[in-house]
Structure 1
Amino acid sequence: MSDEIQCGNINNEVDLFGVRVASVFVILATSMFGAFFPVLTRKSKFIHIPEAVFQFAKYFGSGVIIATAFIHLLSPATQELTAPCLGQDWQNYPYALGISMASVFAIFFAELFAFRWGTAKLAEIGKKPYDAHGHGLVGHSAHGPEAPPMETKAVDEESLTPSSEAESPLDSGIAQIIGIAILEFGVLFHSVIIGLTLAVDPQFKILFIVIIFHQMFEGLGLGSRLAYLDLPKEYRWAPYVGAALYGCTTPIGIAAGLGVRTTYNPNSTTASIVSGVLDSISSGILLYTGLVELLAHEFLFNPAMSKMSNKKLFFATAAMLFGAGIMALLGRWA
């Protein structure tokens, strides 16, 4: 009974209210900067950034995404779904891990069925299958240029009419947009939840500083993926929409938290279950994306990586580990 009363009480001592309101705009600015910087600078004709910077941001982002899945999603989900106020039934099984595993398989089967369906459709019109992840099939990667020059040349020599392009659902920007949308879907849940938490958390000062860096680094990770999308002209709006969505979610969460600060209890049974389930689902999405789509396809199945010099390979792996290390360190406070 005492646990239920404690979990049900609303005791949000929202001090520094003006600063909390200002945090909406500060987090908005840092999130937007992180997400838009790679997109705008890579596509700009006036701002010249060395390619090495973009490569660093891309691999740094891979590490950020993986660390976010483990440290910032799966760990808090486990704590939320084993909170004492949830009752003994929730203590008898690791629900957070089970939901995360189910999320991984859900993304896998969705991608598997989509690939098989798209390949069958392409076969009907006599086209070679498109591979969004660089498994040696003809096409461009959804996560960066992975095809070697000979394969790229083969694509260019193909005679593609406008009608055949329209009939090739995977030989277009749709597959790339779906891939990045899955990644962003996992990130957005997390962003809203940390916004709600920041709005009412008593340790506001420390959490605020940590979330500024957290959102900027996570934005750089997502933005570098958006910047490397190789989209047809009709889909070139997608990176900007993706960056804007990311930049808005945490500020929206903060604003919503401040709006319901007198009724919202982050330690309640309902809040623990909802945030725990969403964090678990998001962790599975980011685990699949980070380990399969990013690490495996960029380092193991990427033909260009096998021809890369040891110096460049060290640079790529060091950037990835640095991104993971920074985000893991931020998990000490948030």
Structure 2
Amino acid sequence: MLQNRQDSGCGGGGGANSHFHLRIGSIFIILVGATSGALFPVLAKRSKQINLPPYFFEFAKYFGSGVIFATGFIHLLSPALDALGSPCLSDAWTAYPYALALAMLSLFSLFVVELVAFRWGTARLARLGIPRECDTTSGHHHVHHEKGDEEAASTSSSGPDSALAQIISIAILEFGVVLHSVLVGLTLAVNENFIILFVVLIFHQTFEGLGIGSRLAFLEVDKKHNWVPIAAALLYGLTTPIGIAAGLGVRSTYNPGTATASIVSGTMDSISAGILIYTSLVELMAHDFLFNKEMLAASNGRLVFALGSMMLGAALMALLGKWA
């Protein structure tokens, strides 16, 4: 059995070393693409010089939701099933769908963590004397007259509870995407089909960055923590290049086809898949459509625009899964 596995490419040895200079260049190319995708919505939202129409941010937000949704299923769960079902692994690994079990465990763990976080946050707000739900009656009308329509619109759909929800949601999403991006970079550095994977990942990381950035752009933080969305966008942009650099550093010993590499990548992909599937379904889709009073009362045109943007993001990312 061991001999058969070695013959099928399951033995040791390093990864591919072709196009080495371009592999080094990919660090900087993907850094620019991923960082630009994540940072542009954040800076554009804050800049007075970049006067983008509101529907641009609407498109970016819903397009990004679709990207994240497809990433969880096509770019994470499917590779995890392949990795943990690899013929290089022992029969104990292939006798049970561990990829699905780990994704389910990750998803359910996030639900419990978020539930505990909300209970703790709500209790803390109560001790501080801050109501859990924002006041939408007389207080809202007062704000409307004193601060103007634009700020009133922002205040009427936000508050301490929604701000807490945003922070938790973004933190979960960022963790899942960062974990995935490091592994993607490591794989790119040693993959035999480098050129195809490289081209696909430029679009993949840029689209995914747009999804992260469009959420970070509307993260409600005070002036003291105004740097957080920018730092989160930069962190996303750095993760894949860091993974590529690490992969190039160990290319002589790291072989993505070995049993150990399959177990590590399959486990990380499964956990990330659970995170992104939970985030896209619960934090993004449900909160943006089902639990959003503004969207429920929106015109049919705006609803079609939002759904179309999300489907476009999911379709493009799913299509990229044909090559990566």
Residue in 2 aligned with 1:79?
82
Change beyond 3 A, Cα 1:222–1:281: same
Is 1:215 matched up with 2:205?
A: yes
Residue in 2 aligned with 1:286?
276
Is 1:92 matched up with 2:95?
A: yes
Is 1:36 matched up with 2:23?
A: no
Residue in 1 aligned with 2:60?
57
Asked if the contact 1:32/1:244 (under 8 Å) is kept, the reply is yes
Give runs of aligned pairs for residues 173-192 of structure 1, distance below 5 A: 176-192=166-182
Offset, 1:272 = 0.9
Give runs of aligned pairs for residues 62-141 of structure 1, distance below 5 A: 62-129=65-132, 137-138=133-134
Change beyond 3 A, Cα 1:21–1:240: same
Asked if the contact 1:214/1:327 (under 8 Å) is kept, the reply is yes
Offset, 1:154 = 7.0
Offset, 1:138 = 2.3
Residue in 2 aligned with 1:145?
none
Give runs of aligned pairs for residues 122-271 of structure 1, distance below 5 A: 122-129=125-132, 137-138=133-134, 153=140, 176-271=166-261
| TM-superposition CA deviations, 1:110-162 (whole Å, max 9, x none) | 11111112222333344311xxxxxxx328xxxxxxxxx759827959xxxxx
Offset, 1:201 = 1.1
**Alignment RMSD, CA only?**
2.1
Distance in 1 (alpha carbons) for counterparts of 2:282 and 2:141 = 26
Change beyond 3 A, Cα 1:80–1:156: farther
Q: Note the residue ranges of structure 2 that are not aligned, 5 or more in a row.
A: 145-159
Asked if the contact 1:138/1:151 (under 8 Å) is kept, the reply is no
Change beyond 3 A, Cα 1:155–1:173: farther
Offset, 1:172 = 8.9
Asked if the contact 1:173/1:232 (under 8 Å) is kept, the reply is no
Distance in 2 (alpha carbons) for counterparts of 1:282 and 1:119 = 28
Q: Note the residue ranges of structure 1 that are not aligned, 5 or more in a row.
A: 130-136, 140-148, 158-169
| TM-superposition CA deviations, 1:34-88 (whole Å, max 9, x none) | 1111111111111111111110000000000000000000000111111111110
Distance in 2 (alpha carbons) for counterparts of 1:40 and 1:150 = 33
Distance in 2 (alpha carbons) for counterparts of 1:151 and 1:284 = 42
**SS of the counterpart of 1:282?**
helix
Greater mean deviation of Cα atoms: 171-180 or 290-299: 171-180
Distance in 1 (alpha carbons) for counterparts of 2:172 and 2:140 = 30
Distance in 2 (alpha carbons) for counterparts of 1:175 and 1:331 = 31
Greater mean deviation of Cα atoms: 60-69 or 40-49: 40-49
Residue in 1 aligned with 2:306?
316
Residue in 2 aligned with 1:2?
3
Change beyond 3 A, Cα 1:16–1:306: same
Offset, 1:173 = 5.6
Is 1:17 matched up with 2:20?
A: yes
Asked if the contact 1:196/1:256 (under 8 Å) is kept, the reply is yes
Distance in 1 (alpha carbons) for counterparts of 2:142 and 2:227 = 24
What one-letter code is carried by the residue in structure 2 that aligns with 1:192? V
What one-letter code is carried by the residue in structure 2 that aligns with 1:195? G
Offset, 1:232 = 1.3
Asked if the contact 1:35/1:247 (under 8 Å) is kept, the reply is yes
